[in-house]
Amino acid sequence: ITAHLDKYPNADILWCQEEPLNNGAWTYVGPRILTAANETQYHKGKYPYYAGRQPTSSVATGSKAQHKKEIEEFLADAFTS
């Protein structure tokens, strides 16, 4: 990751996942991406940004309309961050 990060010195670091914050890989990968970024020339001190659904007690909302709304929100967040 470090070799690829320094190829893009002006890039922001973004992790996007469909799963809720407390169910996806973010809690595992976030600290590791941060460690990798801190070993680069251009991204030292940058914190990776999370774009995804907020924490929930269930992986599904049970409502198609609510699910669609959540997907639209986190994708908008990912593409405008």
Q: How many helices (H) and strands (E) does the chain have?
A: 3, 2
Q: Domain 2-80: which topology? A: Rossmann fold (3.40.50)
- Whether 79 shows a pLDDT value over 90: the answer reads yes
Inter-residue contact 43 to 37 (CB < 8 Å): yes
pTM, two decimals, is: 0.82
What mean pLDDT is reported for the chain? Answer: 92
- Whether 81 shows a pLDDT value over 80: the answer reads no
Question: Which amino acid is residue 36, in one-letter code?
Answer: A
- Whether 51 shows a pLDDT value over 90: the answer reads yes
- Whether 31 shows a pLDDT value over 80: the answer reads yes
- Whether 13 shows a pLDDT value over 90: the answer reads yes
Across residues 32-59, what is the average pLDDT? Answer: 93
Inter-residue contact 15 to 51 (CB < 8 Å): yes
